Structure 1
């Protein structure tokens, strides 16, 4: 698809500096851009590369100007980047209807505008809203409710009684509503505790590939609206995640944790069970959280601790080799023998 610089600026609520009538046919990074492409720059280094590239126009924020390129100036270049990409690379559309290989229970209610792809299985009492897409090989368990404009990629599995809002995207291989990991030790064996809860997912959630979200043991596991979950994340039973939170790849959240709104968990963060993580908390990658965290705090390390305390300890650890050398020098000056030093250690 092609757009003039003026049309793109209008879409982004920006302004054009240069030739507003220039036609743009694609979007590319500066090192791969061709004539007719739009590229973007959010700092001086990227702008210098963009200006010497083959791109015809540059999307910027800030006071950049160029005699070589048409400039589209916006408030935030990265936000504008996210908004303009769908113009050049629209998502595929799916025709309404149910594929001949799909199996749909008689009591299921599928909106006429929904797309049910090949080899999908829709259980009894399921309700699927308008324009929702099941691309293929999807299983939706009995009594589940799916809202409008959802997009489930191939081989997503939804267990029974799951409730999913609208505009939710779930990527391939993800399982929603599997049994929580609940057992009690009884007479030398691990007895399974039946998991009879469900999963509730709010509007505008996106869940990556190969994520597992366990059903609650009694009540629901909840993912709040606007939350985004990366690939390979494990959400255990009865976890409650607030709104607009970010969980990066390989995060693990143990059972019955409560996460607030706007929480950010870096890659491979682990949260121990039954903890409360406040609003706008950030936990750095690979941290192991063993305690509740109050609103607005940043934690790092394993076991995790407030970032300032953790950074001081990291600095101290890096200073240990030099400190040990100084101690050895002092011991040598004091005439302490190796045996005396060893005895002191005991």
Structure 2
């Protein structure tokens, strides 16, 4: 069991201990699961109250929370501190270097001696695999793929020919990189396939979730920028270019040749039409359909997507429609009564 004192954790985080710095910490978890010896964290009042009432021995906090019963480790941002603490209690265990006997490896492949090639992998001609890279099992790497250092491919990840991965790229199970883009032309009553001869280039520190598909370019490359994080069940079509440090949530779909600049955020179940440009720090809200370019730092929502304030005004108006319909019917009824009375009045005079 790995243990640390509160003072050691504080030193690692460049934080401050409030209380007993010698208390031993044996784990890290959320407040409602904490046991004696655990460290937990709290970002706001309600979380802190739960943490203080828990069995945890110490709490990571940001702000002036006082406690008479717990050791506190005060940091600028509790969630960032939690992300930095987790590897201490749950360290990554580097698999031992090996070439599993059940794997098929082309003679021309160049594999760093520190790499781990798990069972039932297929490694094609002229593939290059960098230092400490891990293929966990069932991975298929077609010819001329290049993988940098410290790459991790989870089970059944497939890389089509000429895919390039930078350093420290993680791709989760079942994802396919470099499959054919969706390209057809209509000729003489049928759809003629346009061969997709490009590739996929993924830069350093990218993480891609499970069961995602990133298509290779029709001619040039599909590109994923450094530090970008893509969730599960995402489809990226041919020749999409993503900038650095973008965030793409689950079940998002990108049509071909769309360009995302740095730090874009695309929320779940959104669809982005083709040949669009999303400026730096653009944000697309959940379940949105983007049919036009998005300006830098602009937030859009809805179907079709529009500026967020405009979309919210429309949603509020839609919520009022049932009441407006009732009022409209009542006004129509009153108007009909007025008209009937007006018709009756001349007849009475005569």
SS in 2 for 1:335: helix
- Where does the alignment leave 5 or more consecutive residues of structure 1 unmatched? 339-346
| Distance in 2 separating the partners of 1:250 and 1:29 | 28
Deviations 1:184-231 (A, max 9, x none): 111111111000000000100000000000000000000000000000
Paired residues for 1:326-345 under 5 Å = 326-335=327-336
The separation in 2 between residues aligned to 1:83 and 1:238, in whole angstroms, is 35
Query: Runs of 5+ in structure 2 lacking a partner?
Result: 340-350
The aligned residue for residue 27 of structure 1 is 28
CA-CA distance at 1:144 after TM superposition: 0.8
**Which residue does the alignment assign to 1:200?**
201
Q: More displaced, 160-169 or 329-338?
A: 329-338
Match of 2:12 in 1: 11
| More displaced stretch, 92-101 vs 120-129 | 92-101
| 1:133-163 superposed Cα distances (whole Å, 9 cap, x missing partner) | 1111111111111000111111100111011
Report which of the two structures shows the higher radius of gyration computed on alpha carbons: 2
The secondary structure found in structure 2 opposite 1:334 is helix
Taking structure 1 as the reference length, the TM-score comes to 0.96
Matches within 5 A, 1:1-346: 1-335=2-336
RMSD value, Cα: 1.2
The verdict on how the C-alpha distance between 1:337 and 1:252 changes in structure 2, with shifts beyond 3 A counting, is farther
Cα deviation, 1:68-121, whole Å, max 9, x if unaligned, reads: 000011110000111101111112320012111111111111011111111111
What is the CA–CA distance in structure 1 between the aligned matches of 2:236 and 2:337, rounded to whole Å? 56
Q: 1:19/1:106 Cα in 2 relative to 1: closer, same or farther (>3 Å)?
A: same
**Normalization by structure 2: what TM-score?**
0.95
Number of residue pairs aligned between Structure 1 and Structure 2: 338
CA distance in 2, matches of 1:295, 1:303: 18
Deviation at 1:28, TM superposition (A): 1.5
State the secondary structure of the residue aligned to 2:262: coil
- CA gap of 1:331–1:150, structure 2 versus 1, over 3 A, is same
Shift of 1:326: 1.8
Q: Which residue of 2 aligns with 1:343?
A: none
